[in-house]
A = this chain, B = another copy of it.
Amino acid sequence: MAQVTKTTDRKAAVQVLKNYVNGEWVESKSTQTLDVVNPATTEVLGRVPLSTRADVEEAIRYAAEAYEEWRETPPLTRARYMFTLKSLMEDHFEEVSQILTKEHGKTLDEARGEVRRAIECVEHAAGIPTLMMGYNSETIAPGLDEECILQPLGVFCCLPPSNFPSMIPYWFMPYGVACGNTYIIKPSSEVPMTQNKMFELIDEAGFPPGVINLVNGSKEVSDALLESKDVKGVSFVGSTPVARYVYSKATAGGKRAQCQGGAKNFLLVMPDALIDSMMPAIMNSVYGCAGQRCLAGANVVAVGDDAFYEQLKRKLVESAKKLKTGYGLDETVQMGPLRSKQAKEKVLSYIETGIKEGAELILDGRNLKVPGYENGYFIGPTVFDKVNPKMKIGSEEIFGPVMCLIRAKNFDDALKMIHENPYGNAASIFTQSGKWAREFKHRVQAGDVGINIGIAAPVAFFPFSGWKDSFFGDLHGQGFDAINFFTDRKVVIERWF
């Protein structure tokens, strides 16, 4: 399989990706491109254009034009495009998953899981005729009726990160479009191949020209989107500093914005937790996608006595050691490489820092070599013991396969650690106790909460929450929040003579 893939890759390597604007595949006006690199093989998979402001403005113009008719299209008709898109995504499920693995590095199973989530959002958006209903009240005064209707706003855009090339744009786009808005996606320039394929499916689904558009590129594209008067809102996912920047810039221009930032998620292991049963969840949480998830467990906090702690530590290291790291297309592989050379270097630098800060490196993934992929950006599962949550490695987002093991005296102490960290994306507890679970879910200052769950990723029907410095805005992606974000309320009061 690998051989065939490589041949395909070689051919693809010369390809410069196009933009998809107004229902057509068009070349960017730009002459600048970036290489898209398979992080396991270091092969160049394609080249992504750094589109110009003019490219963006054209896309916005077409999207704004398309909006006039799209908003008048009945919700059920709009929903039916989603039904079609869902079918096409099912038909091309494996193909999209493979492209995703090649450009991002995550394992094929992880890619499949991600694409499944993207489909789920399309399925949810197919329910728009119900989701977008307004509400009304007869006779608020004699002869007066009042109703609230939900209407779309215009052109929206999404600026996703590199870690979930298929899924993250779909936390937003299907809702935005189903609500009657038109849309522009600017994929991460590191991983544009997956959306390139997915836009082929969008094209095949037959959406009217201009309804969903793709513009490849980098900061110039983003800034042009953020600065355009015709763009009514932006959905961003990335690091906290950039999330702040986008939120502030977008809102200063009067736009709506929902900006997800970084995370540092704690996994609380209570002394009554069934460690063996929980181990797969913890491993997946910390090492899944090589730790490059905003829901990744980073700090494992053991609450309990020495014996419990030692036992937990031993089992964690044992389990981590057993994980097979390699090229994601190999179905036996459990962890892929970091997304890029820079990403790997950043993680290595954090490991150095951790050592300097006095944490104890009890499993070191730095020297891992994957046979056949010696140049790949791999780091093996890594574990630090004796981490203090105030250390850099205990408080900052490493975004790599590095577990920080922390001890807490008791539940309240552990909760305090979580609350002192500036992020509030996700937090999980492992316990058999209904009492601890209730206390945790009620009190913890985090938007996505897991009880005996390692990755508390809300299904499409619920908002993907995030609190504190992990989110800027008041309406999240997915769920009912998405509907409120992508519509405005219009209140009508009427009486007749």
Report yes or no: A75 in contact with B474, Cβ–Cβ below 8 A.
Answer: no
Which chain B residue has the least Cβ–Cβ distance from A276? B497
Report yes or no: B72 in contact with A142, Cβ–Cβ below 8 A.
Answer: yes
| Whole-angstrom CA separation of A204 from B137 in the bound complex | 29
Known: A147-B147, A251-B248, A489-B463. A494 touches B138 (CB 8 A): no
Residues from chain B with a CB closer than 8 A to the CB of A480 are: 135
Which residue of B72, B437, B476 contacts A489 across the interface (Cβ within 8 Å)?
B476
Residues from chain B with a CB closer than 8 A to the CB of A463 are: 148, 489, 491
| Min CB gap A244→B, angstroms | 7
- Residue interface bits A280-311, CB-to-B below 8 A is 1, else 0: 00000000000000000000000000000000
Report yes or no: A497 in contact with B148, Cβ–Cβ below 8 A.
Answer: no
Residues from chain B with a CB closer than 8 A to the CB of A131 are: 127, 130
Report yes or no: A138 in contact with B134, Cβ–Cβ below 8 A.
Answer: yes
Residues from chain B with a CB closer than 8 A to the CB of A465 are: 148, 488-491
Instruction: Determine whether A450 belongs to the interface, using a CB cutoff of 8 Å to chain B.
Output: yes
Report yes or no: B140 in contact with A474, Cβ–Cβ below 8 A.
Answer: no
Report yes or no: B126 in contact with A435, Cβ–Cβ below 8 A.
Answer: no
- Residue interface bits A433-462, CB-to-B below 8 A is 1, else 0: 111011101100011111111001111011
Interface SS of chain A: mixed
| Whole-angstrom CA separation of A278 from B459 in the bound complex | 36
Residues from chain B with a CB closer than 8 A to the CB of A149 are: 136, 138, 441
Report yes or no: A137 in contact with B129, Cβ–Cβ below 8 A.
Answer: yes
Instruction: Determine whether A362 belongs to the interface, using a CB cutoff of 8 Å to chain B.
Output: no
Residues from chain B with a CB closer than 8 A to the CB of A129 are: 124, 137, 140, 459, 461
Report yes or no: A491 in contact with B458, Cβ–Cβ below 8 A.
Answer: yes
Known: A72-B139, A123-B83, A149-B136. A497 touches B274 (CB 8 A): yes
Instruction: Determine whether A106 belongs to the interface, using a CB cutoff of 8 Å to chain B.
Output: no
Residues from chain B with a CB closer than 8 A to the CB of A456 are: 491-493
| Min CB gap A89→B, angstroms | 11
| Min CB gap A119→B, angstroms | 10
Report yes or no: A484 in contact with B489, Cβ–Cβ below 8 A.
Answer: no
Which residue of B135, B254, B467, B484 contacts A134 across the interface (Cβ within 8 Å)?
B135
| Whole-angstrom CA separation of A469 from B434 in the bound complex | 31
Which chain B residue has the least Cβ–Cβ distance from A144? B453
- Residue interface bits A66-105, CB-to-B below 8 A is 1, else 0: 0000001111100110010011000000000000000000
Residues from chain B with a CB closer than 8 A to the CB of A458 are: 146, 148, 491, 493
| Min CB gap A338→B, angstroms | 27
Instruction: Determine whether A277 belongs to the interface, using a CB cutoff of 8 Å to chain B.
Output: yes
Report yes or no: B474 in contact with A462, Cβ–Cβ below 8 A.
Answer: no
Q: Which of A79, A251, A481, A495 has the largest number of chain B CB atoms within 10 A? A: A251
| Whole-angstrom CA separation of A125 from B218 in the bound complex | 41
Report yes or no: A137 in contact with B146, Cβ–Cβ below 8 A.
Answer: no
Report yes or no: A493 in contact with B132, Cβ–Cβ below 8 A.
Answer: no
Instruction: Determine whether A133 belongs to the interface, using a CB cutoff of 8 Å to chain B.
Output: yes
Instruction: Determine whether A27 belongs to the interface, using a CB cutoff of 8 Å to chain B.
Output: no
Q: Which of A136-184 contact B (CB under 8 A)?
A: 136-142, 144-149, 151
Which residue of B74, B135, B277 contacts A140 across the interface (Cβ within 8 Å)?
B74
Which chain B residue has the least Cβ–Cβ distance from A458? B491
> What are 21 A-B contacts defined by CB distance under 8 Å?
A76-B459, A79-B123, A83-B83, A129-B459, A130-B131, A134-B137, A135-B136, A136-B149, A138-B149, A139-B442, A148-B463, A247-B254, A248-B248, A254-B472, A256-B473, A432-B433, A433-B433, A437-B494, A441-B494, A447-B491, A462-B491
**Closest 7 A-B residue pairs measured CB to CB?**
A127-B127, A451-B494, A435-B496, A434-B434, A251-B251, A248-B252, A458-B491
**Footprint of B on A, CB under 8 Å?**
72-76, 79-80, 83, 86-87, 120, 123-124, 126-127, 129-142, 144-149, 151, 233, 244, 247-248, 251-252, 254, 256-257, 274, 277-278, 431-435, 437-439, 441-442, 446-453, 456-459, 461-465, 467, 469, 472-476, 479-481, 484-485, 488-497
Task: A126-B127, A434-B494, A452-B494 are known; give 17 further A-B pairs, CB within 8 A.
Answer: A74-B140, A75-B137, A124-B130, A127-B131, A129-B140, A129-B459, A129-B461, A130-B461, A133-B135, A147-B147, A149-B441, A247-B251, A432-B496, A451-B492, A457-B493, A465-B490, A481-B489
